[in-house]
Structure 1
Amino acid sequence: MENSATRQWLSRKLAQVGLHRNIQTLRSWMFGKNLIGPRTEDDIHAITRAYPTRSYGDRDWAECWNAIRELRALHISAGNRLTGLVARHCGAAVHEASNVELSVDLGFGRAWIDEVAAIDEELRPCPASFANRLHWIDAGWRDRAVRFSMKREDA
């Protein structure tokens, strides 16, 4: 059962072994569906100190950390590859200013290009499920944008 008291207890337990993370980070670790793993190897070691187990040894945790690093590298590589595909298929359209979202049909999936209107000067909390995603105020607009999406010429 996920609740604030559980996260606070977990935070205190990890702090006893030198790992200080805010409650939102711990919640993300426990319930984040899109999280690959803790950011650092030190985090893994601290968790194993806070919750020792006979089932897994140092070698197992090293393999776990290596798997996290490899998966994160593959994720970044896939993002870079997708960016390259979008740039190649859209050409100069990617660099032209636009007041609307651009839907790009890559043949194997759809990519959305959106121009950033502004960046806040101050940091503000934002759930990971909200960041780096288009949030449609008007579903009708989205449907029209999909109908008139940019198509690959070689498709």
Structure 2
Amino acid sequence: MVFVAVLIFFAVLEQVVSAQGFFGASIALEVLMGITALCGIFTQFNARLEQVQDFEQIKEAKGVEDILKEKAEVLTAEFVKHLAQAYPEHEKGIFEKIGPEKVAVYFAKYPELKASEVLLNLVDRINGLQSSVYNQRITVENLLAKTRTRLRDPWYFRFIIPKE
């Protein structure tokens, strides 16, 4: 597409030179340089907009990650409550050590818990939330990689691209 535009420009330039001389050619070249400068400025500000959007998406992903962690903690507390009812002698140890990432381990310790649909459902939901937290972290890291790349790109003006 650019190649065709360049060919058309040179065809028009040739006609201008033959009709008006080199004065017309200089005007045509100045117009071309102006259009190129405008395209460059547009590209720079578009990159700035993308950078700002990426930073906003990072903030959003971190917020979602915090909410998912909070949900996982609430479900873990509910799981601990069910375990404390089933195994009161181990209650103190359960409350001190359990976290969302270790919920499935208790099914190995206490196989009879697998009979409880409520606990199976809780563990599935907690595992789903943990998976979502990890997906949000991957999203954040991918967005951070894009922003770092944009900051090092030699074709962008550094003063236009925000750092954070």
Give the structure with the larger helix fraction: 2
TM-score normalised by L of structure 1: 0.32
TM-score normalised by L of structure 2: 0.30
Taking CA–CA contacts closer than 8 Å with sequence separation of 6 or more, which of the two structures ends up with the larger relative contact order? 2
Larger Rg: 2
